[in-house]
Amino acid sequence: MKSGGVKTEISRGSLNRYRIEVARIGQWLTRLPFIPIICLLPLFVFGIFGPLLYLHDPHAPNLLIAMQSPAWMAGGNWAYPLGTDQVGRDLLTRLIEGARSSLIVAIFGVLFSGLLGIFLGILAGFAGGKTDNFIMRIVDTFMAIPQIFLMLIIAAALRRAGILGLTPIIIAIAISMWVPYARMVRGETLSLKQREFVALARVTGCSSRRIMLKHIFPGVINIIVVMATTQLGGAIMAEAGMSFLGVGVQPPNTAWGLMISESNKYITSGAWWIPTFAGILITITILGSNLLGDWLRDALDPRTRQAMKKIKRN
């Protein structure tokens, strides 16, 4: 009897714990940023599963059905839901194909610009003095050149030098977009450097490299995550811009920015759907990454978390 009682106690306890767990996951789910996630879905779903989703061959032109309107309009056909482009390729399939280059460029662009910016930022903030001064002068220089100019120059030069594919775009983004990381990480490093744990680490004989890696770096990860999320949108914008101006993704491959530029010549004939759908995809992707960045900043910052709780309580 007695032992049975204990058993029920235990199972009741674990059941309660289980319920609490479920409730917690539920709560966490409701707090997930649904709007940003939905906005980012096309980029990731199309980018990752691209070829599986193709309705038609994205590269096979068929001039007989060129510039066919979207299905719900007069002259439309449900075989081509969003209509066809200027040479009769299925627009939806082209949009799906275009996501892949954007996704690859954005991820590697953010990765490399982030690494460069974090490295220079921590170095400048931690070393101070001449090193800091030197790095900050480089930052000034990069901020004096319009970002898109710098990207165009680098991408065009690399392409001319014979580097093909997406590499010139990724390098152009990495070289042009590291500045915000460096400035932010430097600022954070300057304040972390004053903290006791860094002084203690030094007293215990840690090398500068160890302090930067093991003590400063973990302290800046939060702001880096937030920054990288927002910069994902920035990289998409940059790639779209470069492709639009002719130095980004090259035909016959495609990207959303390139589709807008290619259809530009035909808009006077009323083919509004090509630039419209491609532009909507770029816009919601950037919007999603900005919103997700905002959400992450609030979620990761203990100060705002406390403030949010207070607001909810009152």
**Helices 273-300 & 217-245, crossing angle to 10 degrees?**
170
Distance CA 155, CA 174 (A): 11
The answer to whether 247 and 159 are in contact (CB under 8 A) is yes
* Residue in 15, 73, 115, 143 binding another protein, rule: CB under 8 A: 143
Cis? peptide before 51, omega within 30° of 0: no
CB 102 within 8 A of CB 256: yes
- For another protein, the closer of residues 187 and 206 by Cβ is 187
Number of residues counted as binding another protein (CB under 8 A): 47
What distance in Å separates the CA atoms of residue 104 and residue 289, rounded to the nearest whole number? 15
Residues in the chain: 314
- 104 or 287: CB nearest another protein: 287
Site for another protein in 154-173 (CB under 8 A): 154, 156-158, 160-161
Query: Residue 219 or residue 231: which is nearer to another protein going by CB?
Result: 231
Of the candidates 40, 60, 147, 21, the one whose C-alpha atom is nearest the C-alpha of residue 102 is: 40
- Token digits of residue 84: 């066809």
Subset of residues 12 to 71 that bind another protein, contact rule: CB under 8 A: none
Nearest distance from C-beta of residue 34 to another protein, angstroms: 16
CA distance 202 to 206: 5
Residue 147 interacts with another protein (CB under 8 A): yes or no: yes
* Of residues 82-111, those binding another protein (CB under 8 A): none
Q: Tell me the C-alpha distance between 175 and 209, whole Å.
A: 24
Q: Would you count residue 247 as binding another protein (CB under 8 A)? A: yes
Q: How far apart are CA 231 and CA 238, in angstroms?
A: 10
- 74 vs 161 by CB, closer to another protein: 161
Using the contact rule CB under 8 A, the part of the chain among 46-54, 67-75, 88-96, 237-245 near another protein is 237-245
Q: Which of 92, 237, 255, 296 binds another protein (CB under 8 A)?
A: 237
Binder of another protein out of 290, 297, 300, 301 (CB under 8 A): 290
Positions touching another protein (CB under 8 A) are 137-138, 140-141, 143-150, 152-154, 156-158, 160-161, 233, 237, 240-241, 244-247, 257, 260-261, 264, 267-268, 270, 272, 275-276, 278-279, 282-284, 286-287, 290-291
